[in-house]
Amino acid sequence: MTDHPAVGLIGLGAFGRLAASHLAPHLDLLAHDPAVTALDGVTLVPLAEAAARPVVILAVPVQSLADVCRGIAPYIQPGALVMDVASVKLEPMAAMREALPEGTRILGTHPLFGPQSAADGLEGQSIVLCPEPGVDPSCVAHFLRDDLRLDVHLSDADTHDRTMASVQALTHLVSKVITDLDLPTAPYTTRSYDLLTQAAELVAGDSDALFRAIEGHNPHAADLRARFFQAARALDARLEQG
């Protein structure tokens, strides 16, 4: 990226606000969210103005991504680079390709952090870039590495979703189960217990929409989830048999 590139950010939910706070010092950033009327340090503009920038970031839930893409399509400039930040990649990238004008460059991204895990800063946090064939992600990757100090990984969308089925869908599932048990505070613990509860605490503040996106919009998650519950039932049966 060049000095102070013009970027539009659409969506100022929990992650969009986090992104805005870290991007605004480095970029000429304009943001839009119909539910937000003011945000310190961020210039808010109408949808058309944010969508007309040469780089557009869609920080919206995967469930609404297709509708947002259809809404911004008339304003996207020829050759614009459009990025999403969804936790899955195959479905969002297909939705962007279907709705956005021909010639739009699409770069799927997945920041592997959120407001809780990045509470102490972005340095060392990981992000995955999934460019469409023919899209060069090098400028974005350099900016993320050099300016935001992120650990950048390149992948195709299918490999990303297969990896996230275990890395994210399974761990979030286990963490949600632990949270739903509502265990009392223990007067003494083991290291393994501490690690489990820390994992549960990291996702406890995630929205239900995010959890459903991770589990329901990853085409590889359902099979792994079925295998997990099958293994749990088999283990329970072994214990019942003594």
What is the average pLDDT across 1-25? 89
pLDDT of residue 116: 82
Greater confidence (3 vs 50) lies with: 50
Mean predicted lDDT score pLDDT of the chain? 94
Q: Is 163 exposed, middle or buried (0-12, 13-18, 19+ CB in 10 A)?
A: middle
pLDDT of residue 118: 86
What is the average pLDDT across 50-76? 97
pLDDT of residue 3: 62
Q: What is the pLDDT of residues 73-115, one digit of tens each?
A: 999 999 999 999 999 999 999 999 999 999 999 999 999 998 8
What is the average pLDDT across 227-237? 95
pLDDT of residue 213: 87
Q: What is the pLDDT of residues 121-157, one digit of tens each?
A: 999 999 999 999 999 999 999 999 999 999 999 999 9
The answer to whether 65 and 54 have CB atoms below 8 angstroms apart is no
Residue 2 pLDDT > 70: no
pLDDT of residue 1: 43
What is the average pLDDT across 168-185? 90
Q: Using CA atoms, how far apart are residues 25 and 34, in angstroms rounded to an integer?
A: 23
pLDDT of residue 209: 82
pLDDT of residue 190: 96
The answer to whether 162 and 220 have CB atoms below 8 angstroms apart is yes
Q: How many CA atoms lie within 13 A of 101 on its CB side?
A: 15
Residue 242 pLDDT > 90: no
Q: Using CA atoms, how far apart are residues 24 and 145, in angstroms rounded to an integer?
A: 16
Residue 204 pLDDT > 90: no
pLDDT of residue 138: 97
